Amino acid sequence: MISFPGHLLAHMDLTHQLLLGGLTVTIMVNPKNLHYLNPLLSLHSSSNNLQTSVLPFPSHSSIPIGVENLQQLFISFAPDFVDALSKLHDPLFQWFQTHPSPPVAIISDMLLCSWTNTLASQLNIPNISFIVINAKAVASWWVNLQLLPECGIESPLACMPSWGVIFNSFAELDSKSLKVLGEAFIKHDRIWSVGPLLPIKAISNGPNERGGQSSIPQDQVVAWLDFCPVEKSVVYVGFGTQITLTKQQMKAVASALEESGQQN
């Protein structure tokens, strides 16, 4: 039920790893997002461990009819998408109740955990929230919570009451932040850093780029990275699929990167 393109890619990579571990996974998806799963479904076509359940996208007064993916709208519509998806609580509860062999746990996106936690509690199964960003970013949210403006959408902090939390990160990078979140906020040890979740090679090398068509060929990017001096780090700056910078903002970022003295 992921209507956020960047989140969907991370969930696909996580699903791939779970399948390699021998688990059976059912992906809940809305009709117009089903095609995003085709590469993953094709890769695991010989296995019975990957299943899909297609649920109609709930209607919402602020979302145009036929739109089921935030990529088709502006980031300001994100709260409306979260609100619309929360209406799937009852259909999902019914699906679990009537399934001959229902799943034993839910893995939900970081923006949906408020109502998926409730659903899991009603079903008496654990809900594990998947936070697609690193723990340091979440810790920064927590430390500066009172300074953040209201944006109408839950921060990953809402996932902390979940039975378990998965971070798309790794201990060597995020050990301090993972410890702070675990001891001071989550207050249990059911925390897993499963990253970095790299793109599935069999999928990402195809003619269609993940997340949309790239403006620069992949081999050109790799060649540039190989050309960079070994003793210097490379700074990667990304704003997600929903953020479009103005020319003035782009110039400011470019100027800062140039002044950093790092390859960028």
Angle at CA of residue 244, ends 206 and 201, nearest 5°? 20
CA dihedral 33, 35, 40, 46 (to 10 degrees): 120
Using the predicted structure, report yes or no on whether residue 143 has a pLDDT greater than 80: no
CATH number of the domain within which 157 lies? 3.40.50.2000
Q: What is the pLDDT of residue 228?
A: 81
Q: Which residues are catalytic?
A: 7, 109
Is residue 208 one of the residues assigned to a domain? Answer: no
Q: In this structure, which amino acid lies at residue 188?
A: H
Is residue 178 one of the residues assigned to a domain? Answer: yes
pLDDT digits (tens, 9 = 90+) for 211-249: 666 777 878 888 988 888 777 677 778 777 667 778 899
Within this chain, do residues 232 and 155 fall inside the same structural domain, yes or no? no
Structural domains counted in the chain? 2
Within this chain, do residues 169 and 236 fall inside the same structural domain, yes or no? no
Stated as kind and residue range, the H or E segment containing 52 is strand 50-54
Q: What is the pLDDT of residue 207?
A: 46
Within this chain, do residues 39 and 166 fall inside the same structural domain, yes or no? yes
Coil/strand/helix, residue 234: strand
pLDDT-derived band at 202, boundaries 50, 70, 90: low
Question: Under a CB-based contact definition with an 8 Å cutoff, are residues 52 and 34 in contact?
Answer: yes
Position of tokens 């085709």?
38
- % of the chain at pLDDT higher than 70: 87
Within this chain, do residues 158 and 104 fall inside the same structural domain, yes or no? yes
Q: What is the pLDDT of residue 146?
A: 67
Is residue 209 one of the residues assigned to a domain? Answer: no
Going by C-beta distance under 8 Å and a sequence separation of 6 or more, which residues neighbour residue 12?
36, 37, 39, 40, 200, 203
Domain range for 226 is 214-260
Question: Under a CB-based contact definition with an 8 Å cutoff, are residues 5 and 241 in contact?
Answer: yes
Within this chain, do residues 197 and 219 fall inside the same structural domain, yes or no? no
Q: Give the least confident one: 118-122, 126-130, 172-176, 197-201.
A: 197-201
pLDDT digits (tens, 9 = 90+) for 151-184: 555 556 678 789 999 999 998 989 999 998 888 8
In angstroms, what CA-CA distances link 239 with 23, 134, 148, 244? Answer: 33, 14, 18, 8
What's the start-to-end Cα distance of the chain, in Å?
35
Q: Give the least confident one: 10-24, 91-105, 188-202.
A: 188-202
Within this chain, do residues 184 and 125 fall inside the same structural domain, yes or no? yes
Is residue 156 one of the residues assigned to a domain? Answer: yes
Within this chain, do residues 45 and 121 fall inside the same structural domain, yes or no? yes
Is residue 52 one of the residues assigned to a domain? Answer: yes
Average pLDDT over residues 115-122: 95
Burial 198-224 (b: 16+ CB within 10 A, else e): eebeebeeeeeebeeeeeeeeeeeeee
Question: Under a CB-based contact definition with an 8 Å cutoff, are residues 67 and 33 in contact?
Answer: no
Q: Which residues pair with 191 in a beta bridge?
A: 165
Is residue 207 one of the residues assigned to a domain? Answer: no
pLDDT digits (tens, 9 = 90+) for 68-117: 988 778 777 888 888 999 999 999 999 999 999 999 999 999 889 889 99
